[in-house]
Structure formats: C-alpha cells, structure tokens
Structure 1
Amino acid sequence: MTAGPQDRAAFIRANTAPEAPALVPEVTLLTATEITPLWQATEDTLAAKDLPPPFWAFPWAGGQAVARHVLDHPELVRGRRVLDFAAGGGLIAIAAAKAGAAAVTAVEIDAYAIAATALNADLNSVAVTAVEIDVVGQPLPDIDVVLVGDVCYERPMALRVMAWLRGLAGTGVLVLMGDPGRTYLPKDGLTALATYRVPTTLELEDRTHRDSVVWRVEP
C-alpha cells in the first residue's frame, strides 16, 4: 500500500511534536525524539517496506548552521529566489522565508519530507513551495540562491551533488552549504563563512555538540 498525502501528514502529526531547534529558536518544527521507533512506525503503520530513514524528523547540525546564518545575515536571501536542496523537514527553507526571500522552494526525493516541510511551513506561517523531485544535474534558471545542509555523508551522493553545486556557482548562483565535518566534504573549492557550535543528540550523532561550518561553494 502506498501512503497518500493525507496519510503522510496524519502519520507525521501522530509521531512528532512541535519543538524549536537548539540553534534556531525562531523556528518550530515537528520533531521526533528517537529515530529507530519512528522508522519502524512508518513501516508498521503504513505497511510499507524499504522506506528511507526519517531524516526529515530531526534538525541536523549542518542545516541548523545554515538556517542560523541566513537569519543572522538576511541580506543573503532578502528579495531573492531561494532553493532549499535536500530540505528534510524544511528548516532552511523556513529560515529563508523568515529572512525575507522573495520565493522559497524546498526540494526532496522523500515524500514524507515534502509532507513534513509543508506542515512545518504552515506551523511557522511562511510560504514555502515543497516539491518531490531530484534536481541534481538540472539547471536552475529561476533560482538566485541555493542553500544546502549536511549532504556529504555518503561518497556517491557527495560527488554527484558537489559537481552540480559547483556548476550552479559557475552560473552566478550563490550556493551556501552547512557541514559538521562529514567524511566526504571536499578539501578545496569551498570558502568558510562562519562556524556554529550546534547541540546534538546521541540518537543521531556520536557527540553532544558539533562544530558546523557554513561554506560558500565556489565554481
């Protein structure tokens, strides 16, 4: 059985609670407290197997750093068209909207993440267009700024995404990426803009804090 939009929204509401990320108290997200029970509940409740982990239910360190940076430096997005890539629950997209972006689009390949982003945008009274699509490799003629959090944790994904982001930067798009020291972060082609110490949970990380850097991706 494939869950429909209403099923996904109902499931998210039933298995999460509103909570402000530690580094971004201006934003409220529907958040889970433990990753494994939620993952199992997704399969049990909706009779679906081989679902992706519910990354959308947690504010990850890289995303928190980008959201914080955008709220602290709204001139980066104010009046501009913004894309939140691999949006998860939409934290970065919501921060960009709050910072005055002209339009915000959040993209994901996980239908539950899209549902969570829509719910979270409503919860924060901001306008975000959430789209289930794989945009890697595609041009983005209607986007001025791309914001990315925490995508360098797997080698194939990191290589594919970084090549695309560098290409976008070469067309004049401002590309900002948050990373808390993931294994496959490139060693060059990045300019550090700021570092944030992000409180984390041992349910998700191997430590209680991570120092997350906001990088500008260079062409």
Structure 2
Amino acid sequence: MLPEIELELAPPGVRLFDATGGYRSDTPPPFWSFAWPGGVALARYLLDHPAVVRGRSVVDLGAGSGLVGIAAALAGASRVTAVDTDAAALEAAVRNGRRNGVELETAEGLVPADVIVAGDVFYSASVAQSVLKVLRGAGAEALVGDPGRGFLPERLFEELAAYDVPVRPELEEDGDVMRTRVWRLKATSGAA
C-alpha cells in the first residue's frame, strides 16, 4: 500500500517474539520491526492528503519503525519528531527516515507540535487511556490509524478514511486483510 516508502523490517517468516526467545517482561518484543495496519493506513492517508501536515510540525507518537513520521515528512511536514518509549524503535525510525531521504528527530516524551499522529496505539485498555490523555491534553490536531483493536473510544473521534490493509501472517491477526480506519480526535471531545 506504500510503494513510496521503504522500511527496514523483520524479514518474512520472523514472528514478533522470535527476537526475544518468547515473551519475557524484561525483554520487550520489537514492535518497531513490523508495519502495523493502523500505521500503514495513517501513512497512506497522509501521503494522499498532504495538506493535513504540509508546513506543520508533527509528532509520530508510538513511532515504532517511523513509518507514519516518514509519510508526514514526505508529505511536506516542516519538522517530524518520532516519540517512542523503546530506544531501539527510535534508532529504527531514524535509520528508516534516512533510507527514505528524510530526517526524523526523536524524543522519549511528547514535544509541542501542530499535529500528532499515532498508528495502532489503542491495543489495550491501559495504553488507550494513556494515549487518549496525551492526545486530549496536547493542544494539537490528533490523527490515529486503528484496525478495530477495540479500545478506541470512537465517540470521541470522527472517521476520515478507511483502507483494506494487507497484513503479514507473522502478526497473527484475524485475517490477511484488516479494514483500518483513520480518525481525527474531535475538538470538543467531552468526558472519556
């Protein structure tokens, strides 16, 4: 879905927990080594609608591989900052940015921006609550890509687009294609 972008990702056949030898709480899996459906849809949206980010500063929250931030930079964002809690993800985002001829700044926490983009971050109740708090308090336009993980409070968002995103079998999703939506946080979103 994104022929404009080339990423360094896990090779075909490698599963999420292969690099950790199985799930262990002290060794996080390399989420950044996969292009998740929410990020793919959001990146496609930004490339198809560059006016959303052109000339604006952008934060890619939960950046992982840097896919959405790279799309924002290619669409003309004035500055893109990849934010992630995983230092390996930030390193991957920078490498992938260079691979695509764009520069991504990095940060471990939120920095001021005009637009916040977040792909596939509503995957658990606790993470969704934290992300929503950040998005609502940032004072920025907030766009998210979500393949129906179940923790996105849709009533607080307006749908902008929907894509059928092909999914790698190694991600063990519910199918080979996921209907993935791009949402914008409503300006007056009320109570969570």
Return the TM-score normalized by structure 1: 0.79
Checking the alignment, whether the CA contact within 8 Å between 1:201 and 1:207 is kept in structure 2 is no
Choose the corresponding residue for 2:102, options 126, 135, 141.
126
Deviations 1:122-146 (CA, angstroms, capped at 9, x unpaired): 1111011122x133xxxx5x31000
RMSD: 1.8
- Partner residue in 2 for 1:149: 119
5 Å-filtered alignment, 1:56-71, equals 56-71=32-47
State how far apart, in whole Å, the 2-side matches of 1:76 and 1:187 are.
Answer: 21
Q: What SS does the aligned partner of 1:79 have? A: coil
Which stretches of structure 1, 4 residues or longer, exceed 6 Å deviation after superposition? none
Return the TM-score normalized by structure 2: 0.90
- Say yes or no: does 1:39 pair with 2:20: yes
Kindly indicate whether structure 1 or structure 2 has the higher relative contact order, using CA contacts under 8 Å at least 6 residues apart.
2
- Say yes or no: does 1:197 pair with 2:164: yes
Deviations 1:151-174 (CA, angstroms, capped at 9, x unpaired): 111111101211221233xx3x21
State how far apart, in whole Å, the 1-side matches of 2:76 and 2:125 are.
Answer: 34
Deviations 1:35-81 (CA, angstroms, capped at 9, x unpaired): 2323339x9xxxx9822111100000000011000000000000000
**Identity of paired residues, percent?**
44
- Say yes or no: does 1:208 pair with 2:176: yes
After TM superposition, give the deviation of residue 201 of structure 1 in Å: 1.8
Ranges in structure 1 where 5+ consecutive residues have no aligned partner: 1-22
Q: What SS does the aligned partner of 1:63 have? A: helix
State how far apart, in whole Å, the 1-side matches of 2:51 and 2:143 are.
Answer: 13
Ranges in structure 2 where 5+ consecutive residues have no aligned partner: none
Paired residues, number: 183
- Say yes or no: does 1:89 pair with 2:57: no
